[in-house]
Structure 1
């Protein structure tokens, strides 16, 4: 559990205690008030909080992935980057085929697993993306080239196209790649694992 509990006479003192313990500013803390006691005439007054900082989230994610490797007897080095609250995780391993799986399905499932564990641990939605041995970057390059070809066909034929289902990060990569293409817009449709991207003929679309 990455949360730690702190009890002081006031919320301000409890937050200062947590910040001091974690080596961060009070503004960098996330916290929940667990219990407040008003006491009698101010005597016995206390506030108990649980608090964490961004570094705690990073440590949890790295530890969770590393424990998965250890339990599965897989080798792997985990690096993490905090991109304004979105965590980008890079894994280097000799077992990349096992972790990626066919068409990246195993990696997608692993990403969902780690995301769910971190979100449950910190009681909030934690956004993260795991890449294994540069697979995602190669994948983005491949699908954006494909999408550009499809978009050119859409523009030529004036007939919209719908791509196969893909995860949010891949849809975003295509959306960004086509954002400045004349007469072309993109939108996502569907739910969950069936969510996919549509490439739409949009004559007169303004391009920056």
Structure 2
């Protein structure tokens, strides 16, 4: 028998998908399909909605700006609908965001190799918060990097990650 928590998450996932569909229709950007995924990550649940589209560039925008705006609006809608909930919503288009995270992780792995070789801190280029979070999480979760620290520095669009060895 499904738990009340699970029932609520399913209800929230469907509500998020319906709200996103409605937003896209009102913006004259209907999608062919919206894939849903419910992810359980440590102490929170994440609803991931991936829009499949013939015209992804309109939904993504310059450097993902439109995608970020769509996600923010959907999060506001979900917070109003489910006030007590701690669930998070992530919107993607044709797996653009997932691919961007993977590219950022590849860049971080290269920087980690340089760090090991040179023992000099490595600065990554500025990137959005979701990419920085993915890098911090990857390094924290891997015991091979127990001697490595990451830090986000900079302000606004110049915010970036510095990877360095922990003091011995």
TM range (shorter): 0.7 to 0.9
User: Which residue matches 1:64?
Assistant: 19
Separation of aligned partners in 1, 2:11 and 2:78: 10
Runs of 4+ in structure 1 deviating by more than 4 angstroms, as ranges, are 189-195
Count of residues paired in the alignment? 158
The higher relative CO (CA closer than 8 Å, separation ≥ 6) is in 2
> Match of 2:4?
28
Counterpart pick for 1:167 among 129, 134, 144: 129
> Equivalents in 2 of 1:187, 1:120: separation in Å?
33
Q: TM-score, normalised by structure 2?
A: 0.75
Q: Match of 2:128, SS?
A: coil
Asked if 1:108 is matched to 2:68, the reply is yes
Gaps of 5+ in 1: 1-23, 31-51
| Greater per-residue helix proportion | 2
Corresponding position: 1:186 with 2:150: yes
Q: Is the 1:91–1:131 contact (alpha carbons within 8 Å) kept by the matching residues of 2?
A: yes
Larger radius of gyration: 1
CA RMSD of aligned residues (A): 2.9
- Contact preservation (8 Å) 1:115, 1:126: no
Any stretches of 5+ residues in structure 2 without a counterpart? none
Question: Within the alignment, does 1:78 sit opposite 2:22 as a pair?
Answer: no
Q: Which residue is equivalent to 1:200? A: 164
Structure 1 distance, partners of 2:96, 2:5, is 34
Contact 1:184 1:203 in 2 (8 A): no
CA separation in 2, counterparts of 1:69 and 1:95?
Answer: 12
User: 1:87 aligned to 2:87?
Assistant: no
Distance 1:119 1:162 in 2: 36
- What TM-score results when the alignment is normalised by the length of structure 1? 0.63
